[in-house]
Structure 1
Amino acid sequence: MLAVLEGFATITVLIGIGILLAQLGIIDLAGQRALSLLAFYVASPALLITVLEDEDIGDVLSKTLVASAASVLVVVVLYVLLARLVLHRDLAHTVVGSLCSGYVNGGNLGIPIAAYVLGDTALVAPVLLLQMLVLQPLALTVMDVAVAEERLSAVKVLTRPFRTPLTVGSLIGIFLSVTQLQLPRPVHDPLELLGAMAVPSMLLAYGVFLRLGPRPGFGGAAELLSITVLKLVVQPLAAWAVGRFVLGLDDHALLAVTVLAALPTAQNVFVHATRYDRGIVLARDAVFLTTILSVPAVTVVAALLA
């Protein structure tokens, strides 16, 4: 568990630096938005290319992927019903809330947890690819439709996922993995350097907004509490139930899908909210609260199922 705590500590330090930079007046809200857009359009696509090119895509075709996908579906459906029928949120806000409820921090926390708690880094690959290739492109496409000033044509809607930088980066990485092609060093090395900016820029931007934006919880305590319960309680329970009773996973695989489902909301949900200027406060608060509470949540899951 030490590695898990170290992962959380790393996130906390970088967010704290962002808060300090905002406090000192070095980065303002305009700079925060620039950092978020840099992560969205440049650093994250480069990171996806360099990470996915070395992944074994065959790992995606496993029962653990089914359990992870089912847990996401459960919490997203529950949140959409809440948002549309009870809270009366618009479509764009509903997409952000859905991502807050089901999009896990599989990179910055999932990788060390998979390595040191579960004993195999590859176990996080199905979750990462599910989010990168299905959940994220679908969400961004719906967001494009929701915020468009004019009705989009069917062609634009259907091709939008393939024009999103994050999706393009994912597809290039998968192509390199499947074909086992190696990028020449003059191409690969700059991409690796750009990719290294992705997580730090996300976390710094989040820290700046945490200091300069509305206080946590200002965006709606009831909705935030509902998302937190969906993320840290319902999602891991759904992953465990599907894995245990439907798929018959062995003990180790069951532990893996449940622990990974209990991870907090990923920081790039905040980046997406900033990019589309929808649900920014909700995304910030969800990342903040679920990150804090996921430490005991992951600990409890590991203690019960290990």
Structure 2
Amino acid sequence: MLEIFLRTLPFFLVVGCGYGAARARMFGPAEVAALTKFVFYFALSAMLFNFASKLPFEQIFNPALGLAYFLPTLALYLVVTAAALRRGIGFAEAAVEAQCGVIGNVGFLALPMLTMLLGSHAAGPILMILSIDLIFFGSLIVVILVAARGGAGLALAGRVLTGLLQNPMVMSMAAGLLWSALALPMPRPAADFLDLLGGAATPGALFAIGASLAGKSAERLGVALWLSTAKLILHPAAVGAMAWYVFDLPMQIVGVMIAAAAMPTAGNVYIIAQHYGVAPMRASSTILVSTTISVLTLSAVIALLN
């Protein structure tokens, strides 16, 4: 456990650097937004394209792996939604809480961390999980929030499609898979460019996570703790049980899936909640609490897997 903690600690120390810089006002909201845009549109996109272009299609789009992740995630999504509705809150707020309970920081945290800690074999399952999170659950929350405002029909479908086409993570993975499927050669200057730019994704993403946390506040701690428990404990347990006992996937793949599911709540949940004006502080609290607790829980999960 101690050895794993010491291996994961540098990642969280970079997060801490970002948090400290923002708290010391070395990075204001405008600088944090600019850094996040750089990571999101350039560095992380280069990393995703790099991984996708080098992996065989079947290593990413594994139907058994996809179902082993999707089914328990959807089940937990419905459980968190039901628990929220029982408290008497609206369906839109319940959807935000459900998103907090199942959508982890796979792109900014899991991909750079787990490929370094577990090896390059982790990239395929992580890209599959990221695709499900972005394409299905990322679209689902938009559909629910827009429908709650009375929106429907072609306008809603157009908004969802536009959101996917404008998401650089989705498009970079799609472009990388197309490159791999066509077996196109990668010129040396292009490969070096992708390695150089993608290499900035890990420190940049971790620093941006920390800096963004400095602006978060921990309100309604009871709800935030419940949602953090769902994300950090129930989600990886459900995914692991489904992948191992039902789909009988290799333990190496199951381990990556469990570790990816054990990531804290993703920052884009807050962005969506704030954009639509639905429970943004609840999302903010959950991100802050789950990220803080994950310093210990994530190390414990990886140590248990080892």
Q: TM-score higher than 0.5 here?
A: yes
In the alignment, is residue 110 of structure 1 matched against residue 110 of structure 2? no
Contact 1:4-1:113 within 8 A present in 2 as well: no
Q: How far apart, CA to CA, are the structure 2 residues paired with 1:39 and 1:95?
A: 25
Contact 1:64-1:126 within 8 A present in 2 as well: yes
Q: 203, 209, 213: which is aligned to 1:210?
A: 213
When the two structures are aligned, how many residues end up with a matched partner?
A: 294
In the alignment, is residue 30 of structure 1 matched against residue 30 of structure 2? yes
Contact 1:236-1:259 within 8 A present in 2 as well: yes
The alpha-carbon deviation at position 171 of structure 1 amounts to 0.0
Structure 2 length as normaliser, TM-score? Answer: 0.76
**Residues 190, 285 of structure 1: alpha-carbon distance in 2 compared, 3 angstrom cutoff:** farther
Aligned partner of residue 277 in structure 1, secondary structure: helix
In structure 1, what residue type is equivalent to 2:133? Answer: L
**Residues 172, 3 of structure 1: alpha-carbon distance in 2 compared, 3 angstrom cutoff:** farther
Equivalence for 1:134: 132
In the alignment, is residue 234 of structure 1 matched against residue 237 of structure 2? no
Equivalence for 1:168: 171
Equivalence for 2:21: 21
Q: How far apart, CA to CA, are the structure 1 residues paired with 2:211 and 2:160?
A: 35
Range 85-94 or range 54-63, more displaced: 85-94
Equivalence for 1:159: 161
Aligned partner of residue 110 in structure 2, secondary structure: coil
Contact 1:68-1:257 within 8 A present in 2 as well: yes
Equivalence for 1:75: 76
Q: How far apart, CA to CA, are the structure 2 residues paired with 1:272 and 1:156?
A: 21
Contact 1:100-1:265 within 8 A present in 2 as well: no
**Residues 3, 157 of structure 1: alpha-carbon distance in 2 compared, 3 angstrom cutoff:** farther
The alpha-carbon deviation at position 238 of structure 1 amounts to 1.4
Equivalence for 1:277: 274
The alpha-carbon deviation at position 174 of structure 1 amounts to 1.0
Contact 1:71-1:236 within 8 A present in 2 as well: no
1:52-79 deviations in Å (ceiling 9; x for gaps): 1112332232644432223322222222
**Residues 143, 190 of structure 1: alpha-carbon distance in 2 compared, 3 angstrom cutoff:** farther
The alpha-carbon deviation at position 51 of structure 1 amounts to 1.9
Equivalence for 1:53: 53
Range 72-81 or range 293-302, more displaced: 293-302
In the alignment, is residue 122 of structure 1 matched against residue 126 of structure 2? no
Q: How far apart, CA to CA, are the structure 1 residues paired with 2:172 and 2:287?
A: 24
The alpha-carbon deviation at position 40 of structure 1 amounts to 2.7
Q: CA RMSD in A?
A: 3.5
Equivalence for 1:118: none
1:115-173 deviations in Å (ceiling 9; x for gaps): 3xxxxx42452233232x22213344345554699766265146332332221111001
